[in-house]
Amino acid sequence: MDDDTRRLDVPMPDGLVLRRAARDTLRSDLAPLVTAFSDPWTDEEWAARSPAFVVERIVTAFDGEEPVACAGAEGFMLTVPGGEVAAGGLTLVGVLPTHRRRGILRAIIRQQLDAYRARGEAVSILWASEGAIYQRFGYGLATIRSAFEVDRSRVAFLRPADPIGRMRLVTLDEAHRLFPPIYDAVRVVTPGALTRDASMWRLGVLYDSASAAGEAGPKYLAVHETAGVPDGYAIYRVKPGWEPRGPKGALSVREVVGTSPAIESAIWRWVLDIDLVAKVTGDMLPTPPALLLALAEPRRLGVTLSDGLWLRLLDLPAALMARRYAMPGRLVLRVADAFCPWNAGTWSLEVDGPRDGTAWHQARVAPAGTGDVPDLDLDVADLGAAYLGGTRFEDLRAADRVRELVPGAVRRADRMFAADRTPSCSTMF
């Protein structure tokens, strides 16, 4: 594919041009990402990871023949309360330091969001390097992730528990076969969770590079089985270490998944009891992590919080109708959206009783009538933050992000948007 064929008819600042990436030039097309993050791929990592990149959804801005900025996308189904929605995942974003503050990123994100919407993806999601960048484009903080670091010798559970099944270490091939069905069983009931295709499992979740193993120790894969049936798993690394007083290995948990709270708890108890380990860390956990409430001394877990998944509504009516609601009711929302103006305006969200035999309620969303009085005044980023049910409208009001125009509307909105499970995402992209 030549440069003219790859060129996109997209307005760009300063005479730059935007082109689609090509497989044979992909490494140079993504060079701005490597420079922006100062994190070059080794040849081994590039050979292993690059096949997972969706080349047709990657774009690069060129200043003459120099690639100066890039962005890519992945398509997911995102679990929402009572259902799922098609989501465009913004990723691989980088701008050279020589070309910042010139509107290049804005133009690229404009092209990307328009492309997602054209594909029928009602929302866009991302993991932010810096949240301030993406809030400018209407992304709201939809999940809060927690992490922990604990001295293993100081871990004591509040209550004893008998083993439910047994843990066993498995090979990479076994993990590819056993882990995805377990993950999917939990994904469909966890708002914020994302679908994972075979490529994501092989090249993302389970992949282990020599450099990663050297830095944090080799990756281990363990399955939990009850009566011979796989129903949970753990993915973790162990970095060995020794001192005159004994072992000081460091265990870092990538993911623990169980198809029930009891199974997940059993896996955590097993992980926290692995020998020759002095410190255990974990990341990408919901807030609060269930482990926090299981310990006799919760503060020893050393939990820290950070931003998780950021979410932007691209097709406001479609997104709001894709999810279900915890109770019937009606809200009139006055929404501002400077970057995607088709979402801006006053919308009526009317939730009826169940129509599909479940406890969830469906919604109809349409432009509000001329006589409708808005209940809430908010930005599209704030609606995105509340979309999964993890960020309360009351918290947004406390942060001066939402204005209540009708008394009681915030409480009504929180009751309608409530999720029955803490939103969480453990899939990086």
Active site residues: 134, 429
Tokens representing 196 are 């994972």
Match 């409480």 to its residue by tokens. 411
- Distance (Å, whole) CA 124 – CA 384: 10
- Distance (Å, whole) CA 111 – CA 102: 16
